[in-house]
Amino acid sequence: LACSVEIICVGNELLIGKTLNTNAQWLADQITRLGGKVARIMEVGDDVQEIASVVKEALKRKVDFVITSGGLGPTFDDKTLQGVSRATGKKLKLNPEALRLVRDRYKEMSVPKRLRLTKPRVKMAILPEGSSPIPNPIGTAPGVLVERGSSKLISLPGVPKELKAIFEKGVAEMMREKSGDLSFYESNMIVRGIVESALAPLLDRVMRDNPRVYVKSHPKGGEGRTGALIELHFSSTEKNRGKAREQVIKAIIDMVRILGKTR
């Protein structure tokens, strides 16, 4: 029913802990709001074989969308499309439409004509055969769409602003279409003065009585402290946003009642 998605983030900077992966969180949040379901997030380094492996594994699971972020730029360490090419068996080839996008971008930047298409710049237009570039409204490297069976494999650049711009303008609509009218609704509730291990059986009861609502507890003060503080996160995905909302609210009311009875 829901539209299934896996996210692959490419970059050594993630694996050495230099960069916090805000791209994965932003994408996951957007996809969830569009009614999609993120099944896995993977992070790998700038290594063609590693990229190819995770892309292949994700495609094997036949999700509707595989989104990669990072590794599309002009430098030697931008290897995502080499990995995609190896995973899909589609050879890298100069894509005329992508070349036009790259050229126009440097023209807008007033780069003199003879310098516009240097080798590193042309690299950004060399895509797996049969793929389509997705325009980059604010940067130079276009996004890339490769269709593979019923899966759409979409590669986005790692610069957060560019990733967001391409996703919003060129990807979100595809996902919205796939997920139909599905809507996600969420709400939080803070519970004080009860430790998570004491809350557990109450949560079980609320979950059982509200099977379409997912409740998750996030201890904020730690189980080992007095004045424990727990955040409860209620969420529901339904065809109808009103119904998702209604179910979440009912579960919260149930929780409040049960908590009231125990103290």
Q: Which of residues 90-129 bind a second copy (CB under 8 A)?
A: 105, 108-109, 118-121, 124
Alpha-carbon Rg for the chain, nearest whole angstrom, is: 22
How far apart, in whole angstroms, are the C-alpha atoms of residue 100 and residue 70?
21
What character string, x for contact with a second copy (CB under 8 A) and - otherwise, covers 166-205? Answer: ------------------x-x---------xxxxxx-xx-
Task: For a second copy, give the closer residue by CB, 40 or 176.
Answer: 40
Q: By CB under 8 A, what part of segment 29-58 binds a second copy?
A: 29-32, 37-46, 50, 54
| Rounded least distance, CB 164 to a second copy, Å | 12
Of 22, 49, 240, 262, which one interacts with a second copy (CB under 8 A)? 22
Per-position DSSP letters for 156-179, written without gaps between them: E-SSHHHHHHHIIIIIHHHHHHHH
How far apart, in whole angstroms, are the C-alpha atoms of residue 70 and residue 160?
9
| Rounded least distance, CB 17 to a second copy, Å | 3
Q: By CB under 8 A, what part of segment 63-92 binds a second copy?
A: 73-77
Of 159, 213, 251, 255, which one interacts with a second copy (CB under 8 A)? 159
Q: Does 163 bind a second copy (CB under 8 A)?
A: no
Task: For a second copy, give the closer residue by CB, 90 or 125.
Answer: 125
247: helix, coil or strand? helix
| Rounded least distance, CB 130 to a second copy, Å | 25
Q: Which residues contact 52 (CB under 8 A, 6 or more apart)?
A: 82, 83, 84, 86, 87
Task: For a second copy, give the closer residue by CB, 222 or 242.
Answer: 222
Q: Does 140 bind a second copy (CB under 8 A)?
A: yes
| Rounded least distance, CB 199 to a second copy, Å | 7
Q: Does 259 bind a second copy (CB under 8 A)?
A: no
Helix ranges (DSSP H) in the chain: 12-15, 22-33, 48-60, 80-88, 96-108, 113-116, 119-123, 160-166, 172-179, 196-209, 241-262
Q: Does 233 bind a second copy (CB under 8 A)?
A: yes
Instruction: Kindly report the length of the chain.
Output: 263
Contact 143, 166 (CB under 8 A): yes
